[in-house]
Structure 1
Amino acid sequence: MVLYGINEIIKLTGIEFPASVCLMLIVFFFLSFTSWLKGEEFTQKYILTYIDFPFGFNLRWMNLYFTPPFVTLVLADKVTAKEAFTIAAVFIFGYIVGFAFIGYLVWGLQIVLGTYNHEKETEQSHDQDLELSNIHSQAVGSSDTASVVPAADEDRSSESLSRYELDVTDTNVPQKEEDEGGQLDDGLALSRMATRNADITSLVVQQTHLEFDYVQKLTATFDFIIYFIMFIAGLPIYFCTGYEMVVQLSVAIIMFKACLLPPPKIKKFLHPILVSFSLSLLVYYILSLIKKQNFKNMIQDYETGRTYLNLFDSSQYPRWPGAGDILVSMMDISIASLSLAMYRYRQDLKRYFFALMPVVIVFSFMSFFIYPPLCYHLGISPSRSLGFTGRSVTMALGTPLVHALGGSNQLMAVTTIMSGILGVFLGDWISFTLLRIRRTDFVSRGVTLGVNCGAVSTAHLLSVDPRAAAMSSLSFTLFGTIMVILAAINPLVKIVRGLVGL
């Protein structure tokens, strides 16, 4: 509802700007101001405690929200083989040049401004830090597990102890020895009691581990059970009424969660976004065959454009929301959630702001004025040439950008997400191996992936390098904002459209 209200206010200004990015900036500045005014403890206790859970949930599932553009790719106009190879060549060339240009320029600006960290961290110390971190986490996990023993188990163990003590005194002491003066070896009895006490404690801990494993398994399968029930419930709705949203949404989530199960080594080459959307399309196709429905009509209902922003606009969007509209709406929340990473590392943002701002401005003008004529003169159609301006702009900002230019929104969406996925696959290799950027230079890493790869790579950085993720969030926000501002200036739009023959 907050995003909807912000969007309605933005409409009154006549400016096309995504409400999600606006809310991200509002939350970031609000948290920073509150922390400055009331302190960190107050902000954590009264604000972050309440927004951390919903924001964290959406950040964890951010990759799922990027699948709709790939599903609707089925509806795209046909591209000739020559144009397809040309698009791929321009994409690869621009991608590598973007990495080199941004990475080296940020590195150079840090040196000029005196903010570059010249201390060299060896791989050995890095590995030691990781090892110490793992040891610490294991120790915490063990202590947490031991402390989670229920009170009922403690009562049972105390009762067992009493029972064992009775056994020791009643059964293990011969009557003859008592009659002969009670020459019982007290040390031996205490030893037996201690041994049995340890056995009881071991049994309790083992039982606790079993219960913990059971809870973990239940948690892992709970989502599958819920969405499978949702899928079963959606089948009669689909076959009787023709409304596909319930079935399509449950299939999309189940397939994506299934693609998260393989180990990281496999997921690095089989990205969940690419695999899950392919499997989802297969299921949709099978369902359309069973119902004898045109497959393209089914995909058209997948994303009708009636997101939460247009939910009450039934005149312009008469069809009900599809599964893609639900996921796109959730993506806006995840974009706003990036404000948490920016807030937690705001000191880094403040220190390195002037190292990233010139890079963002220069690369914005390069993308706006170089991509369209380059693509057009290489034989790419005018609309797709204009769509290339949003190649590395996150979808939330790329949509109004390309719409203002009159470019291909589908090409923009696919190239944007592919840029992010390749950033996950090849970003570290290009940065650290090919360009020789230091691994400890989180500024160059974050700005490069943020500007050149967008929100998908930023979501990846959240789990591997939060400081770089904060730089990446601010970078792609500033980059996309500048691009949208350029597209809002009509004389510049006419110039760019003229460069592609329009």
Structure 2
Amino acid sequence: MNYLDYIKGAHLGLRRVTPQLIDKFVKVPIGILICLCGLYGVNSVIKLTPVAIPASVICMLLLFLGLLVLEKVVGTRRVSSLLSWLDIPLGFSLRWINIMFTPSFTLLPLAPSVSVGETFKIAAVFVVGYFIMLAGSVYFVWGIQKVYQVRRRPYDADSVRGDSIELSSMTSATSRRMDEEGERTRNSGNTSKPTDHSVSSSEVSEAVEDYAETSGQPSTSNPIRFGYPLSNTTSMGALGFEMEAPKPTAVISRPNNPGMTIPDRCLTGELSTNGAMQQVRETYTGEDSLVNRTAVFVQLNIDWIVYGTLGVIGLIIYLTTGYAIILHLAIVVLTFFSTRIIPPQYRRYLHPIPICGGASIFFIYLFALLRQETVYTNLHAFKTGRNYLTLFDTADYGGVKPGAGDILSSLLDVSIMALAMPMYNYRTDLKRHFFQLVIPSLVAGLASFLIYPPVAYACGIESTRALAFMARSVTLALAMPITAAVGGSSTLISVMAILSGVFGVLFGQTFLGRRWLRVREDDYVTRGISMGICSSAVASAHLLTIDPRAAALSSLSFFLYGVIMIILAAIPPLVTIVRSWVSLGPL
């Protein structure tokens, strides 16, 4: 065994991934630091006002409005250049937003104990309330669509078949048209061979129209918008072309509103790099030397290598100094990576956020034993509250060191701010459906604020926990100040806010499907608004991977819903009335 070949292979692999490492560990951190500085500045201004809205949400709205203004002033092309720079930190934050939610689950052992009976009551109110709120949001959006005379096709078998045009049928129509063109070309005496074996999107569009005419279904001039994947890989036929049925890939529907289909692996934060990795394998398969095999291994596993090395360094620092920030951060990232091992058919139910949270607790406990410390001591050090907003607050946090959870919570603010990107990309849809966004968000906010606390209290849930239910569907960045403003349980809301999002990812799409509420898959308005109101930023992150247009509406709806709740919580007489309903006095 030649160890020198391993060293050469590792060096070759590192040289090949150097641009990737520069992007991930130089450009992205610099961009995120700039974003955090902006968030810190906005938060400093907010402190001077009575406004209680988090800086991340304000910056999300400011970035969205700023892009709209710039588009009017300098034009779309220059804004696109700016977006390419913004995508470095913000695109990264969006792709990995799920990992930012894990600290809430990791800190669950620190929560005050709750009796078994009250636990079941909390679970019952949580589950039943979620489905009632989701159904109410769906029917309310449908009602507004009816008032504004928006066409809404029913979810029945015929319409499903009509919208799900099989690729083989499209191929047949395309082949017939290409046969006719080939026949005309041959008859005209043109015997030159075609130089391009690809089928243009306009030809496929015409094929879809031909199919629609023969099948009696409404035609569309843009098949890509409805999810029909195209492929440039075709085989030469006798007189035409035969399209090979490709796997779904990212496609573009409109210049201003690109639609795409992103693989399910993005739910775990994995970047869409499978094609690049496959290319790496194919490129170096012929060179079967030990050096090249080692180089390919380094390329394919560079993230594991980097964070594994970081974990070893963090373990040494923890054992010698007792400071575990690097170790804990590596644990969270590596356990989150490990969720990719879960088969796709089970990944929907074994969501990476709770799985990563539970696994992180286990490994933190194991490493705490090495220093003969308790898991509770390490979990308190995991998140101390010394994030980017309090980093320079020496008066209240003097001597307190930040933990891995504080880093992740800081990055969560950047991820919330980054939701302005899909909102801008789908600005046309947002403008078109503005009233369908505002009215349901207002009604849902009033209902949650006024109905949840007394109902939860009547079911036997303790007063402060009952108050926390009012913000259960608000994104965590907004739920915490809302709960603090009304005197609710901060521990319970930190869990419920994340669980509402995870619950929506696990069961929301099924409940919206044909067996229950029968919301069409192409009804991105209803799906986006209802999921945004009921499942906040976690659902928006999920929708971003399967329906970006719905994700844009979801982002704006959870923002409006949260802002309405913030406004209600800032009205002292109203807060006093709600607190009296759960047998509590004024604050």
The TM-score range, normalised by the shorter chain, is 0.7 to 0.9
Q: How does 1:190-269 map onto structure 2 within 5 Å?
A: 207=283, 218-269=298-349
Q: 1:379 to 1:117 in 2, by over 3 A?
A: closer
CA-to-partner distance for each residue in 1:85-122, whole Å, 9 max, x for gaps?
00001001110101110001101111211233449853
Report if aligned partners of 1:349, 1:471 keep a CA contact under 8 Å in 2.
yes
Counterpart amino acid of 1:246? I
Distance 1:406 1:137 in 2: 61
Pairwise CA distance, 1:132: 4.6
Q: 1:70 to 1:136 in 2, by over 3 A?
A: farther
Report if aligned partners of 1:113, 1:355 keep a CA contact under 8 Å in 2.
no
Pairwise CA distance, 1:218: 3.6
**2:124 is the alignment partner of 1:89:** yes
Q: Give 3-state SS (helix, strand or coil) of 2:151's partner.
A: coil
In the alignment of these two chains, the number of paired residues is 439
Counterpart amino acid of 1:231? G
Distance 1:497 1:216 in 2: 62
Pairwise CA distance, 1:342: 0.4
**2:450 is the alignment partner of 1:414:** no
Match for residue 48 of structure 2 among 5, 8, 12? 12
Counterpart amino acid of 1:353? F
**2:312 is the alignment partner of 1:277:** no
Q: Give 3-state SS (helix, strand or coil) of 2:341's partner.
A: coil
**2:359 is the alignment partner of 1:321:** no
For 1:29, the equivalent position in structure 2 comes to 65
Distance 1:262 1:349 in 2: 36
CA-to-partner distance for each residue in 1:391-429, whole Å, 9 max, x for gaps?
100001111111111111121121111111121111121
Match for residue 363 of structure 1 among 430, 444, 451? 444
Q: 1:83 to 1:34 in 2, by over 3 A?
A: same
Q: 1:220 to 1:476 in 2, by over 3 A?
A: farther
Counterpart amino acid of 1:259? T
For 1:380, the equivalent position in structure 2 comes to 461
Counterpart amino acid of 1:481? V
Unaligned runs of 5+ in 1: 143-204
Unaligned runs of 5+ in 2: 1-36, 168-223, 235-243, 248-280
Q: 1:134 to 1:295 in 2, by over 3 A?
A: farther
Q: Give 3-state SS (helix, strand or coil) of 1:227's partner.
A: helix
Q: How does 1:68-467 map onto structure 2 within 5 Å?
A: 68-118=103-153, 122-123=160-161, 125-126=163-164, 128=167, 132-133=228-229, 135-136=231-232, 207=283, 218-318=298-398, 319-432=400-513, 433-467=515-549
For 1:176, the equivalent position in structure 2 comes to none
Pairwise CA distance, 1:475: 0.2
Pairwise CA distance, 1:437: 1.5
Report if aligned partners of 1:115, 1:352 keep a CA contact under 8 Å in 2.
no
Distance 1:288 1:44 in 2: 48
Match for residue 49 of structure 1 among 84, 91, 99? 84
Distance 1:115 1:67 in 2: 39
Q: 1:209 to 1:349 in 2, by over 3 A?
A: farther
Deviates more, 1:233-242 or 1:365-374: 233-242
Pairwise CA distance, 1:37: 2.4
Counterpart amino acid of 2:323? Y
Counterpart amino acid of 1:315? A
Q: 1:372 to 1:259 in 2, by over 3 A?
A: same
For 2:582, the equivalent position in structure 1 comes to 500
Pairwise CA distance, 1:262: 3.1
Deviates more, 1:19-28 or 1:240-249: 240-249
Q: 1:60 to 1:261 in 2, by over 3 A?
A: farther
Q: Give 3-state SS (helix, strand or coil) of 1:411's partner.
A: helix
- The normalised TM-score by structure 1 is 0.83
Q: Give 3-state SS (helix, strand or coil) of 2:444's partner.
A: helix
CA-to-partner distance for each residue in 1:56-102, whole Å, 9 max, x for gaps?
10001000000001111111111001100000010011101011100
Distance 2:286 2:565 in 1: 55
Distance 1:89 1:122 in 2: 34
Distance 1:215 1:496 in 2: 63
Pairwise CA distance, 1:496: 1.4
Distance 1:216 1:6 in 2: 45
Distance 2:460 2:371 in 1: 41
Distance 1:225 1:339 in 2: 33
**2:522 is the alignment partner of 1:487:** no
Pairwise CA distance, 1:375: 1.0
Distance 2:293 2:526 in 1: 41
Counterpart amino acid of 1:122? V
Pairwise CA distance, 1:49: 1.4
Report if aligned partners of 1:107, 1:116 keep a CA contact under 8 Å in 2.
no
Pairwise CA distance, 1:279: 1.0
Counterpart amino acid of 1:29? L
Q: Give 3-state SS (helix, strand or coil) of 1:473's partner.
A: helix
Q: 1:135 to 1:260 in 2, by over 3 A?
A: same
**CA RMSD between the two structures:** 2.4
Q: 1:475 to 1:220 in 2, by over 3 A?
A: farther
Pairwise CA distance, 1:377: 1.6
Comparing both structures, which one devotes a greater share of its residues to helix? 1
Pairwise CA distance, 1:315: 2.1
Q: 1:28 to 1:297 in 2, by over 3 A?
A: same
Distance 1:124 1:277 in 2: 43
Q: 1:42 to 1:231 in 2, by over 3 A?
A: same
Report if aligned partners of 1:115, 1:351 keep a CA contact under 8 Å in 2.
no
What percentage of residue pairs aligned between the two structures are identical? Answer: 41
Q: 1:41 to 1:117 in 2, by over 3 A?
A: farther
Pairwise CA distance, 1:216: 7.2
Counterpart amino acid of 1:133? P
For 2:207, the equivalent position in structure 1 comes to none
Distance 2:357 2:467 in 1: 26
